[in-house]
Structure 1
Amino acid sequence: MEQKKKFTEQFRNPNGGYHIPTWLIVLTFICGGWPIGVCLIVARACEEKGPAKEKKPGSRKKINTQNIWLVLGTVLIIFSAVGLPDSIQYLVWCMNNNSGISYALEDLIRDSIWLVCGIGMLFISLGMRSASKKRRRIVAVVGDADHISIDEVAAALPASHRKTAKMLQRCIDFGMFGEKAYLDMRSDCLVVRGEAPISKKAKAEQEAAQAAARAAAENLDEYERILKELRDLNDLIPGEEMSAKISRLEDLTGKIFKIAKEQPKKLGSMRKFMDYYLPTSLKLLRGYAELDAQGVEGTNIGDSKRKIEDTMDMMVTAFEKQLDKMFLSESIDISADIAAMQNLMRADGLVENEFLEEIQSVE
């Protein structure tokens, strides 16, 4: 890493601008690439040789390679444009005289290569200028923000998320946002200074927790409302037998709600109970209270009340089974613990097999 830094420093002037070392120009001429050597001489003549400018903290002046590629490309195109017509004319003459064709082809190929290389260098310069403009636009979009999402920058450019992330990383590499800037992929944003914002995943988890808390609060209010309605219906409906059954329903419902409050994960097992059985039971009791309030024991009223009274036993039994169902996982855990303890006691010889078999037969 240190050697690479020393090598790249040869291509910088003290003021931070680009510098073409002499040994590179000499080597180019020795290898026969005199057009490139001339281009390098011209590029060296364009170097900024003024005094070093004071750098701002966190900034880094980069070598302006755009001008190098532009100068090199222009010079190569000029050289090839001057020599290419003569090479073509010479090739035609050789072909007419049937001699020296191979030499003419070499000249033509060489000049064509210089032309292609020159055009390629111009395209490279144009591409670098375009990228530089995009980076300046990104800096303008970010402004003085401490952090900004990649999607927001992508929408302003416009560009794809992936391409924007690459351009932001290039801006960071060029030191355009300071030394402490970085891309935080957890929150999918550019952090210029300070801490990264909360990540999308953490935000989603936080929102889910808040939604669960709101749902729990709503359920709590709903539980209290249902229990109050059961007590009010019990007060409205006379008769000791019906009152006892309603009181039993209220007691069972209260126990079911208590478990749901303490263990919200069991809400799934009581969803049908909450969505159908309990509302239907309340509807029947409301109907019974309304019928009883008429003060008339006609055929329709009397038959309807008796049907509801007969259904109350079934409702109580269903509520009892719902409460028992909510302890299914505990029952499974207890059975598993007992079986494990019995096997361990048998393996350690702490009890006789006959004793364990008797316990299991009782179970």
Structure 2
Amino acid sequence: MATAATKRRQNERAEFAQGVPKVPRDPAARMIDKLEMFIALAREQHFGRAAEACGVTQPTLSAAIKQLEDQLGVMLVWRGSRYGGLTPEGARVLDWARRIVGDTRAMRDEMRAAKRGLSGNLRLAVIPTALAMVGALTRPLAARHPNLRFSVLSRNATEILQMIDDLQIDAGITYLEGGAAAGRMTAIPLYAEHYNLVIRADHPAAARAQITWAEAAELPLCLLSPDMQNRRIVDSHMAEANAAPAPRLESNSVLTLVGHVLGGDWATILPMKTAALFLAPDHLAAIPITEPAAEHPVGLIAPFREPHTPVLAALIEAARRLEER
């Protein structure tokens, strides 16, 4: 599967084939290339995988890292028979590399937008329970900017933060609680999750107006996997109710959970915005969960960088319009 870096290089080659003059790689451009390879190595923690992600051979990547070390006068990577991690100096250079490469991409995107209008690929990573609302952001942008493309990945909250740091995505939609992104991310609230028990419409509890967390814990549950923040939220509310659920199935896929609920005597717990996608055919019922009646804010996060790229600025503007509704 082609990586983002490989696709970017393919796009550049396509532009050259269409008559865009190819500019020789000057020392500054070569330095950016080395910093991108260094970021990839820190992310992949493996020389071979990092080389593949950058679309170069492993010897090329290794030589670039060595040249970067020679230019900076410090060792960046502990080496043995394999990658051994970053040195303290390497960790500091990684911060600078992300900043320099991010700013360089932002500058290139702004110049491209000035010449051609808003175009390119907007990369988003989204927690599974928020995938249902992504269209509220992407549809208006697509209508206003026909040359804009979108990549949407399902990831957990921790992965989204890391992918933003590693410049793999432009922005994420995730939980705003916990403070992990505080001070280093632009954060725009979009909505609050409210939790519902989702069961078959013919389940004995389907006619109830509400159900408690403790009662929900007694049902044969299928829940999101423990690496998902939604699952940690559900577990915390169960604990508040002195309940100890023992889910019979765990998955990182909402579709897997809903499929099991539809196919048998299972139940799951989902935010209402997600559950609503599956309620229309009247096969399922969603019952609000109380004691406590909890809500948790979800929003857009993006790197705290000024100026933002034109594409990211348009996304943030769309998110703020959605917030105001």
Pair in the same fold by TM > 0.5: no
- TM-score (norm. length: structure 1): 0.20
RCO higher in structure (CA 8 A, sep ≥6): 2
Question: Which structure has the bigger radius of gyration?
Answer: 1
Higher helix share: 1
Higher strand share: 2
